[in-house]
Amino acid sequence: MSLIVAKFGGSSVASIDKIKHIAGRIKGMRDKGDDIVVVVSAMGDTTDELIELASLTGHDLCKREMDMLLATGEQQSAALLALTLNNFACSSISLTGWQAGIKSDDSHSKARITGIETGRIKNELKQGNVVIIAGFQGLSPQGDITTLGRGGSDTTAVALAACLDALRCMIFTDVEGVFTADPRIVKEAKKLPQISYEEMLEMASLGAGVLQPRAAEFAMLYNVDVEVLSSFSHNPGTIITEVANMENHRAVSGIAHDLNCARFALFDVPDQPGIAKTLFKTLAAENINVDIIIQSAMRDGRNDIAFTIEEKELSRAIPVVEGLVKKICASGMTYGNDVAKVSIVGAGMQSNIGVAAAMFEALADEGINIHMISTSEIRVSCVIDECHIKAAIKALHRKFELDKIE
């Protein structure tokens, strides 16, 4: 008998009919004799609706109280699924994150799981129950409810699979697996039969919303076999695992994109030691995460510095950067949220020459200007105008012949 962790996302539990559908599926898995731990997200758009509701109370949204509110979404779906399973004569119990022993740090709204006390879960499994756990939530050292950031139920599931030594973590969602690009944008996108931990981590971090980046990180760290698959079909999904022979690996496995980008450019910055430190230490102290940074060549003792941040931080960052422009005696600045990032990801890039050049050529052929470039061993990212993002993704998908992946 094996232990399987199965996570069902918001669209898979969006209505009672859908909950009944997945309950049938879970019962089928249980009837095969495996122990099943289920993790659920909130129903449909519940989390967004709760955020909207909270915004009606005023501007000041205390993060602790927001976590109290948002955690209720997952509790509803967990209890509804347990009620349904029990009505299907499949014995089950629902647990909140803290009842399930999920400990986190205290950074409300983006808490990290620090450990899981699995005693209660193991006990419930021993009693013959399917254990249904509310995803996306933990308990801080102060005893407060935390949430794990948007998409955090993925991380709950992978962390549970790691701590319970599960055979596999199955992430059931509204697409059939991890595709070569977001299938909602590229009709020709192909499902990848498997993808390496490294590639999945890059894809997720670069905007492929199908898995929370921290879930990919956990999977890699603890060697959890993850399968991403559809709640609505029985086709095999994508296996995320160690890929043995990187040498023969394709140069590009997928395209990711991120619309959540904003840009700053600072002009005529004095070219002297300590300026970059002042700039980026100040932003870090304000908890503003900087992504890509470029500095132009020096002319007349001055240069330009440009960088990107998350779009949702833009209004908070503007006064901070304005202050910095004065402090470092730059001549001025511009900013905007009219940019997006498109990235190619592939473990085989390391052993293939000319991959970045092919990316730039594909964008040039579409008349798309590149504002910034950043690279790692297995990815190349370009910041471009947001209005060109769909054309860019499609052009890159064609260029690297991703529709031909088997």
> What's 287's DSSP letter?
T
150 is in an annotated binding site: no
Distance CA 402, CA 406 (A): 9
Distance CA 3, CA 165 (A): 8
Q: Does residue 10 interact with ligand ASP by CB under 6 A?
A: yes
Q: Does residue 173 interact with ligand ASP by CB under 6 A?
A: no
Residue (of 321, 337, 250) closest to 282 by Cα position = 321
Residue selected from 138, 151, 152, 177 as contacting Mg ion according to rule CB under 5 A: 151
Residue selected from 5, 36, 42, 166 as contacting ligand ASP according to rule CB under 6 A: 42
Region of 71-79, 83-91, 108-116, 206-214 interacting with ligand ADP (CB under 6 A): 206-214
Is the CB of residue 143 less than 8 Å from the CB of residue 157? no
> What's 350's DSSP letter?
G
Q: Does residue 42 interact with ligand ADP by CB under 6 A?
A: no
Distance CA 105, CA 44 (A): 27
Region of 41-49, 220-228, 297-305, 379-387 interacting with ligand ASP (CB under 6 A): 41-49
Nearer to Mg ion, 237 or 346 (CB): 237
CB atoms within 10 A of CB 260: 15
Is the CB of residue 236 less than 8 Å from the CB of residue 178? no
Distance CA 213, CA 360 (A): 26
- 135 contact, one of Mg ion, ligand ASP, ligand ADP, none, CB 5-8 Å limit per kind: ligand ASP
Residue selected from 74, 182, 199, 304 as contacting ligand ADP according to rule CB under 6 A: 182
What's CA 252's distance to the chain center, in Å?
Answer: 20
3-state secondary structure of 224: coil
Residue selected from 44, 97, 101, 135 as contacting ligand ASP according to rule CB under 6 A: 135
Structure tokens at 275: 């300026």
Q: Does residue 152 interact with ligand ASP by CB under 6 A?
A: yes
225 is in an annotated binding site: no
Is the CB of residue 199 less than 8 Å from the CB of residue 258? no
Minimum Å distance from CB 8 to ligand ADP?
7
Residue selected from 73, 138, 151, 213 as contacting ligand ADP according to rule CB under 6 A: 151
354 is in an annotated binding site: no
- In 126-223, beta strands by DSSP E: 130-134, 137-139, 145-147, 168-173, 194-196
# of chain residues touching ligand ASP (CB under 6 A): 13
Nearer to ligand ASP, 50 or 391 (CB): 50
Q: Does residue 73 interact with ligand ASP by CB under 6 A?
A: yes
Region of 50-58, 168-176, 213-221, 312-320 interacting with ligand ADP (CB under 6 A): 168-176
Minimum Å distance from CB 210 to ligand ASP?
11
How buried is residue 354: exposed, middle or buried, by Cβ count under 10 Å (0-12/13-18/19+)? exposed
Distance CA 405, CA 125 (A): 41
Distance CA 193, CA 190 (A): 9
Can you say which residues are annotated as belonging to the binding site for substrate? 47, 74
Can you say which residues are annotated as belonging to the binding site for ATP? 7-10, 173-174, 184
Interacting residues toward ligand ASP by CB under 6 A: 9-10, 41-42, 47, 73, 135-136, 150-154
Can you say which residues are annotated as belonging to the binding site? 7-10, 47, 74, 173-174, 184
Interacting residues toward ligand ADP by CB under 6 A: 9-12, 41, 151, 173-175, 178-179, 181-184, 208-210, 254
